[in-house]
Structure 1
Amino acid sequence: MPVPVAPRRWPLLGHTPAMLTRRAGFTDALHEHGDVVRLDLGPLRAYFVTSPALTHEVLVSQGSKFRKGAMFDKFQPYLGTGLLLSNGEHHLRQRRMMQPAFHRERIQAYASTMARAASALVERWRPGEIRVIENDMQELAVTIVGEALFSAEMGERAVEEVRRSIFTVIQQGMIRALSPSFVEKLPLPGNREFDAAIARMKAVVLQVIESWRADGTDHGDVLSMLLLAQEDGVGMTDQQVYDEVLTLLTAGIETTAIALAWALYEVGLNPEIERRLHEEVDSVVGDRQVTFADVSSLTYTAQVVQETLRKYPIWFVMRRTLVEVQLGDVTLPAGTEVIVSPHALHHDPRFFPDPDRFSPNRWTPEFTASLPRGAYVPFGGGTRQCLGNTFAHTEIVITLATVATRWRLVPTRPARVKFTSAPYPDGLLMKTVPRNN
């Protein structure tokens, strides 16, 4: 059947101007035109999937018929063949070997690092300070992911280098992904900063890997698990381990930091949500440090997390068909680019009434059970579902609870959003108010 073409198409440029100027406002409305809508991104033709059912097919039921799409190709030169970018049997093998690093007993061990790091952060705050919350949350996420990856006694240099370099890698990497290939070869300051940051991180991480190889001991961190993992008697090469480390750093720091910053902002903006969160934390945690055992009891806190991940997810991901694929009434030949948008799905009023309102109360068991498959995909789905989803959820809950035991955070101005691959907070200024006042 003919596929409807999205509105606002320009000659030669296609829908790129609409994507760049209106961002999610453009893509969130595409469900009004059909379950599959054609987008022309300059010369590249893509098909935007708007329905939960077809999203589930792309990510899960027909997921083996897809590989990563065009945008991910631009990341390959510096992220290598880590889980984020690999395909086929290599991806499945790496995923199987990495899964033990994220089993429940490992998450329980990482939780103490999360609670300790969050406590250290809030203890540095002083009454009446104006904090740039996204900066605090980025610092916290670097500490938590860095220490989970590299045990403190052997990986201290690596953690320090991550703090120094990772945001240059993330920010300049996104610019490279969205720019023509020739731009990365120009002698621009951003290119020089990116290349230097990658070189520094690679050198120190490979040194740590070499030390771990010589030691051969499980230190309880993710890197130990990667180095000890084997399938059919064969482990990962140093390069494969490095690719996975860099993937975990880039995927595990920025997205969690964004979610934490937005969650704290929304709680500070809504007195009733703040009251319920504080009451639950007071009841479950009291004035002690949060533990992994508390997480399952912090049910309203988890609802705040779910709603944050609904309202502020990544914008879109791309997939490419490996074979001919049937999506509803549309037949797509091999090599077709397909776009799935968590943001559009999470803001679809057919499934999330009043989608721009932050409402943790919507997440009742009945509401969750009523959602069609594919409507809520903060961590993707199928064999490409984020391996660190439980790690991220635990980190956000523990951090929110830790802040709530000591502080109220009061926004001093409306949020500003910098929309790139996701709605990034841009200067979330919040005042620290002790809860005992």
Structure 2
Amino acid sequence: MGVPMAPGRLPFLGHSVAMLRGRQRFTSSLRDHGDVVRVDLGPMTTYFVTTPQLVHQVLVTDGPRFSKGAMFDKFRPYVGNGLVLSDGAFHLRQRRMVQPAFHRDRIAHYAETMQRAATALTTSWTPGEVRVVEDDMQALAVTVVGEALFSTELGQRAIAEVRRSVFVVIKQGMVRALSPSFVEKLPLPGNREFDRAIARMRAIVLDVIASRRAEGVADHGDLLSMLLLAQDEAGDGMTDQQTYDEVLTLLTAGIETTALALAWAFHEVARHPDVERRLVAEFDEVLDGRPATFADVPRLKYAAAVVNEVLRVYPLWILMRRAVEPVDLGGVRLPVGAEVIVSPHALHHDPASFPDPHRFDPDRWLSPSADVPRGAYIPFAAGARQCLGNVFAQTEVVITLATVLSKWRLVPVPGKPVRTKFTSTAYPSGLLMTAVPR
């Protein structure tokens, strides 16, 4: 069976807003050309999967028949072989070792940090002050993940370095992943900044790991303790390098997702007064003026719907997988080594799965008929590679919304529309909002 060829190419170089919006339009348009569409990324031929059913096959049903794709290969030399990048038996071993760190009892403990950090942030606000909301949410996400990882006094130096360097690593790392290989070798300011940030974070995290081992590993109630105490079926723990790789994975994946989700959530809530009214009413009813806890999260159903909708509207642009054995995908026989692309953005904006997909509508998650096809909604991927921190991230967003909106309104500054920057997803830029006591 032949594979339809996309009408045009999808260049990786260049990162203007217009070009990246064009990419999103391009990937969304591919569903009109078939279930599996050939797309040329420069010299590399890829197969773009457009239906939820085939996406579910790639990520879940036939997940073991795929490894991470070419885009992820470019990260590995810089950010290591943590769960986001590792494959095969090693990935399974690491996932089993890391998973206990995200047990519900642990997340309940981290939720106290989330609430405390959000309260500290809003306590620093003054009535009528204009806040740069994306900066506030980035700072909050660093505090939460940093304190969840490094609870001891020694870890405070690591958190300070994370504040300085992690967004350089995230943003410049994605630029490298989406650009031809020769670009990373050029003496560009972004490349030098990225290399320095990686070197600083590596030095401080390895120093904290070495100090913990020298003290004698104990459970300090943080994620690093769990990583250092974890053992595989043979009774072996992680090496320093393996621990560092997982720490860097947790930092980069955990901070970006929640910071973006929170910034866009406040943006959308402010744009939709009825959503804000219903959120605040739910917080008042469930919490009755007390701080939100992990036990409250299942009762905050409308807040969960708001978070789901934010994650639908603002997901990753693409994921890549590589076939490690021949695979039949919708009647197309893919050979070993075939590169497959899945677009969460295109899936989340497919009107067949989400009617009126460009409308922000939390109620679509509360309707009795809200039956989303498997594979249509993948904000944290799916299958054996689904993000382990998905409950952590969703809990953080709900608790932060509850903490902030119970006390404050964030009102857009007139004449200052939010701009959007793109790497692997949409970043708000200049999200200026006035803090008004409720």
Shorter chain as normaliser: what TM range?
over 0.9
- For 1:78 and 1:345, the matched residues in 2 are separated by 30
Q: Is the 1:14–1:40 Cα contact (8 Å) retained in structure 2?
A: no
Equivalence for 1:123: 123
Pair 367,138 (structure 1): closer, same or farther in 2 beyond 3 Å: farther
For 2:80, the aligned partner's letter is G
Q: Is the 2:13–2:178 Cα contact (8 Å) retained in structure 1?
A: no
Map of 1:35-114 to 2, 5 A cutoff? 35-114=35-114
Equivalence for 1:207: 207
Residue 359 of structure 2, aligned match among 349, 357, 360? 357
Query: For 1:83, what is the secondary structure of its paired residue?
Result: coil
TM-score, length-normalised on structure 1?
0.96
Q: Is the 1:15–1:42 Cα contact (8 Å) retained in structure 2?
A: no
Q: Is the 1:114–1:399 Cα contact (8 Å) retained in structure 2?
A: yes
**2:412 is the alignment partner of 1:417:** no
Residue-by-residue CA offset, 1:330-375 (whole Å, 9 max, x unaligned): 111111110001111110001101101100011126344x221101
Query: For 1:40, what is the secondary structure of its paired residue?
Result: strand
Equivalence for 2:398: 397
Structure 1, unaligned runs of 5 or more: none
Q: Is the 1:263–1:305 Cα contact (8 Å) retained in structure 2?
A: yes
TM-score, length-normalised on structure 2?
0.95
**Identical columns (%):** 67
- For 1:9 and 1:72, the matched residues in 2 are separated by 21
Equivalence for 1:223: 224
Query: For 1:331, what is the secondary structure of its paired residue?
Result: strand
Figure out how many residues of one structure are paired with residues of the other and give that number: 432
Q: Is the 2:70–2:321 Cα contact (8 Å) retained in structure 1?
A: yes
For 1:183, the aligned partner's letter is V
Equivalence for 2:381: 380
Structure 2, unaligned runs of 5 or more: none
Map of 1:225-244 to 2, 5 A cutoff? 225-231=226-232, 232-244=234-246
Equivalence for 1:163: 163
Query: For 2:153, what is the secondary structure of its paired residue?
Result: helix
- For 1:204 and 1:419, the matched residues in 2 are separated by 29
Quote the offset at 1:286 in angstroms: 2.9
- For 1:395 and 1:8, the matched residues in 2 are separated by 41
Pair 71,390 (structure 1): closer, same or farther in 2 beyond 3 Å: same
Quote the offset at 1:311 in angstroms: 0.6
- For 2:50 and 2:176, the matched residues in 1 are separated by 27
The worse-fitting range, judged by mean Cα deviation, of 290-299 and 381-390 is: 290-299
For 2:208, the aligned partner's letter is V
- CA-atom RMSD in angstroms: 1.7
For 2:245, the aligned partner's letter is D
- For 1:238 and 1:257, the matched residues in 2 are separated by 28
Q: Is the 1:411–1:430 Cα contact (8 Å) retained in structure 2?
A: yes
For 1:69, the aligned partner's letter is G
**2:416 is the alignment partner of 1:426:** no
Equivalence for 1:177: 177
The worse-fitting range, judged by mean Cα deviation, of 353-362 and 210-219 is: 210-219
Q: Is the 2:39–2:46 Cα contact (8 Å) retained in structure 1?
A: yes
Map of 1:253-268 to 2, 5 A cutoff? 253-268=255-270
Pair 4,409 (structure 1): closer, same or farther in 2 beyond 3 Å: same
For 1:5, the aligned partner's letter is M
Equivalence for 1:406: 407
Query: For 2:143, what is the secondary structure of its paired residue?
Result: helix
Residue-by-residue CA offset, 1:272-326 (whole Å, 9 max, x unaligned): 0000001001111233222111111111000000000011110110101111100
- For 2:399 and 2:362, the matched residues in 1 are separated by 17
Pair 9,72 (structure 1): closer, same or farther in 2 beyond 3 Å: closer
- For 2:187 and 2:345, the matched residues in 1 are separated by 35
Q: Is the 2:305–2:363 Cα contact (8 Å) retained in structure 1?
A: yes
For 1:207, the aligned partner's letter is D
The worse-fitting range, judged by mean Cα deviation, of 281-290 and 221-230 is: 281-290
Pair 9,146 (structure 1): closer, same or farther in 2 beyond 3 Å: closer
Q: Is the 1:16–1:40 Cα contact (8 Å) retained in structure 2?
A: no
Query: For 1:326, what is the secondary structure of its paired residue?
Result: strand
Quote the offset at 1:154 in angstroms: 3.2
